Amino acid sequence: MGTLMIIGGAEDRTDNMEVLKRFIALSGGRDQPLVVITAASTVPEKVWPMYEGAFGALEAQQVRHLQIAEREAAEDPALADAILSAKGIFVTGGDQKRLMAIVGGTRAGHALREAWQERGACLAGTSAGASFVCTHMMAEGRAELAPEKGAAKLAPGMGFVPRVVIDQHFSQRHRINRLLSVVAQSPFLLGAGIDENTALIVHGDAGLEVAGEGCVTVVDCRDAHTNIIDIAPGSVPEMVDVRLHLLPAGSAFRADAASGANAGQLPADAKAAPQPLNDFIRYLTKDH
Amino acid sequence: MGTLMIIGGAEDRTDNMEVLKRFIALSGGRDQPLVVITAASTVPEKVWPMYEGAFGALEAQQVRHLQIAEREAAEDPALADAILSAKGIFVTGGDQKRLMAIVGGTRAGHALREAWQERGACLAGTSAGASFVCTHMMAEGRAELAPEKGAAKLAPGMGFVPRVVIDQHFSQRHRINRLLSVVAQSPFLLGAGIDENTALIVHGDAGLEVAGEGCVTVVDCRDAHTNIIDIAPGSVPEMVDVRLHLLPAGSAFRADAASGANAGQLPADAKAAPQPLNDFIRYLTKDH
């Protein structure tokens, strides 16, 4: 299984480009074939040149733009071949609902899963591309001053992250309340908020690390007491005993249950994951 | 012991005035002597007319403005008498450092404690007046996108709330990170963030309620794992297992250990406090 990079949007593309450098390294290096998928965006002709410039500056030698403007195009066997032969796949921002409407369940969608899961490609998604990796995808929601019942809507995502709902631009757009509103209602999920220019890197079940500039915030309502099922839509739930974890850039944790296949990618200084982060890794990677 | 109303600032003064109405009720009604202390503000001549208008509209019959422009004035025996004979004391916003510099340790300061603790007055503080009730007072701090070591500074407060640090204008000014930075460093304290137009009402050790419009957010790092003692000032700590409670307006909890003296003030529908909120009530009211 390849590495998953879940990026909170607005990763630096002109300065130190730490997140993009890491993507290239996790894809095997700058001589490896990389693809950039801009299907989430309605203005791919503006998005692609930014990445073309950034990857050019980082001396990546084989970078292809895969535009995928509509669902029909996502069934093109040549497109699937390009995805399957890539060692790094970068899915840009835009709208995750648009991305899923075009790619979800298509040949390109299956190729993404196969490239990452079977062929070991590094799959990176930023902003909309971060959201869409989840089974239960944050589709939209208001950033209110408190969690509100029904403030956010879920939709089906790609299913690469089974039991964690991802939110992006997290601190910058003050999204903790919309994330809490989702996990309070569905404690089956953990919530992970990714800051801008920050990547949650999932090394399969071996462990995780945080790279870039900001933090990953994890919210866990499994043991929380809340009245959310009894209140009216739009009301603010009472919540007692939410657990919260804050992982700044530089954090790295090795899972107890690491099967080892991806362990070699973990930073050498990764610490043994405490129980709550072992759980988080399990929820990122296992179905039940 | 009287009731303590800890208000997150910007309580409504022109519309339904729910928080101010509650203050009048907890002070014994509109025929009781009330005082408004504006010492936190450099413009008391602008602050007082707002409250004069609001309490006038609510038909409070005996409201006095106590200005206290400097520390010397806070030693005036006539001022202390006015405080001691009040049934409701309302401390307005401004700067809590200014408020403490003028009132802390003076005859007026002692009168505030005596009026509330011995004579049963309702003591309400909003904004700066909310912060200053704590033993360990949030003096100042930046609202960053992540908790940062040293982002907030504590200073001595009045000592009415021994083991909870209060922050105000909480959701509106996105202050959760500065509050987390304090309690991560000092898990001896619990943190409570009060939203605008919202009151945390502490009925001694009998229980608490939340009135007004927003929420009270409680953060608890007693069992959290963090590296904050090992990182450089300004760095972002790793934090695992922070506990978070969210109490929207309308919440009311009766403590297990309620001694009963204040229990009569609790709303009839107050629920039995779960353990984390029993702890919170204990930290609000007991020294150790």
At position A138, the amino acid (one-letter code) is: M
> What is the 8-class DSSP label of residue B256?
T
User: What is the distance between the alpha carbons of residues A285 and A206, in angstroms, rounded to a whole number?
Assistant: 10
- My answer on whether B123 and B142 are in the same domain is no
State residue B36 phi and psi, 5-degree precision: -120, 120
Q: In Å, how far from its chain's centre is CA A91?
A: 10
| Residue where one domain finishes, among candidates B103, B131, B159 | B131
pLDDT at A261 over 80: no
Task: Give the model's pLDDT for residue B261.
Answer: 73
Secondary structure (3-state) at B223: coil
Structural domains in chain B (count):
2
Q: Give the lowest-confidence range in A140-144, A168-172, B103-107, B250-254.
A: A140-144
Say if the Cβ atoms of A247 and B241 lie within 8 Å. Answer: no
User: What is the distance between the alpha carbons of residues A237 and B139, in angstroms, rounded to a whole number?
Assistant: 30
Domain assignment present for residue B273? The answer is no
**Tokens coding A158:** 């790609």
Task: Judge contact between A30 and A71, C-beta under 8 A.
Answer: no
Task: Judge contact between A114 and A86, C-beta under 8 A.
Answer: no
pLDDT at A288 over 80: no
Task: Give the model's pLDDT for residue B260.
Answer: 67
| Residue where one domain finishes, among candidates B111, B131, B151 | B131
pLDDT at B210 over 90: yes
Mean of the per-residue pLDDT values of chain B: 96
The predicted model gives A93-106 an average pLDDT of 96
pLDDT tier for residue A260 given thresholds of 50, 70 and 90:
low
Cα-based distances in Å from B27 to A31, B2, B86, B264: 75, 9, 9, 14
HEC assignment per residue over A7-43: ECCCCCCCCCCHHHHHHHHHCCCCCCEEEEECCCCCC
- My answer on whether B165 and B107 are in the same domain is no
Task: Give the model's pLDDT for residue B93.
Answer: 97
- My answer on whether B229 and B288 are in the same domain is yes
Half-sphere exposure of B50 (CA within 13 A, CB side): 18
pLDDT tier for residue A262 given thresholds of 50, 70 and 90:
confident
Asked if the C-beta of B237 comes within 8 angstroms of chain A's C-beta atoms, the answer is: yes
Task: Give the model's pLDDT for residue A137.
Answer: 96
Contacts of A171 in chain B (CB under 8 A): 145-146, 177
The predicted model gives A94-122 an average pLDDT of 97
User: What is the distance between the alpha carbons of residues B171 and A32, in angstroms, rounded to a whole number?
Assistant: 46
Asked if the C-beta of B261 comes within 8 angstroms of chain A's C-beta atoms, the answer is: no
| Residue where one domain finishes, among candidates B131, B162, B181 | B131
- My answer on whether B107 and B185 are in the same domain is no
Asked if the C-beta of A232 comes within 8 angstroms of chain B's C-beta atoms, the answer is: no
Say if the Cβ atoms of A246 and B225 lie within 8 Å. Answer: no
At position B43, the amino acid (one-letter code) is: V
Contacts of B215 in chain A (CB under 8 A): 146, 236
For residue B129, the tally of other CB atoms under 10 A from its CB is: 28
Specify the length of chain B in residues: 288
Active site residue A203: no
- My answer on whether B45 and B86 are in the same domain is yes
Predicted-assembly ipTM surpassing the 0.85 threshold: yes
At position B8, the amino acid (one-letter code) is: G
Task: Say which residue, A142 or A31, is predicted with more confidence.
Answer: A31
User: What is the distance between the alpha carbons of residues A104 and A266, in angstroms, rounded to a whole number?
Assistant: 30
A201's enclosing H/E stretch is strand A198-203
User: How confident is the model over B248-275, as pLDDT tens digits?
Assistant: 999 999 999 776 678 888 999 999 999 9
Task: Judge contact between A167 and A131, C-beta under 8 A.
Answer: yes
pLDDT tier for residue A264 given thresholds of 50, 70 and 90:
confident
Of A214, A208, A141, which Cα lies nearest the Cα of A180? A141
| Tokens 């500056």 -> residue | A57
A52's enclosing H/E stretch is helix A44-57
Question: What is the domain extent for residue B150?
Answer: 134-198+211-251+278-288
The predicted model gives A21-50 an average pLDDT of 98
> What is the 8-class DSSP label of residue A206?
G
- My answer on whether B101 and B163 are in the same domain is no
User: What is the distance between the alpha carbons of residues B75 and B28, in angstroms, rounded to a whole number?
Assistant: 27
Which residue in chain B has the smallest CA separation from A238?
B247
The predicted model gives B2-22 an average pLDDT of 97
Domain of B103: which CATH number? 3.40.50.880
**Tokens coding B104:** 């802390």
User: What is the distance between the alpha carbons of residues B194 and A229, in angstroms, rounded to a whole number?
Assistant: 24
Active site residue B75: no
Q: Which of A240, A251, A276 sits opposite B241 (nearest CB)?
A: A276
The predicted model gives B158-166 an average pLDDT of 97
- My answer on whether B165 and B220 are in the same domain is yes
At position A49, the amino acid (one-letter code) is: P
The predicted model gives A250-271 an average pLDDT of 87
pLDDT at A258 over 80: no
**Tokens coding B278:** 């029993």
B27, B131, B169, B245: the active-site residue: B169
Q: In this structure, are strands A190-194 and A164-167 parallel, antiparallel, or unpaired?
A: parallel
- My answer on whether B173 and B49 are in the same domain is no
User: What is the distance between the alpha carbons of residues B212 and B207, in angstroms, rounded to a whole number?
Assistant: 17
pLDDT at A22 over 70: yes
- My answer on whether B127 and B140 are in the same domain is no
- Which class for A229: exposed (0-12), middle (13-18), buried (19 or more C-beta within 10 A)? exposed
The predicted model gives A85-113 an average pLDDT of 97
pLDDT at B157 over 70: yes
Domain assignment present for residue B258? The answer is no
Task: Judge contact between B82 and B107, C-beta under 8 A.
Answer: no
- My answer on whether B54 and B158 are in the same domain is no
User: What is the distance between the alpha carbons of residues A35 and B267, in angstroms, rounded to a whole number?
Assistant: 62
**Tokens coding B12:** 């409504």
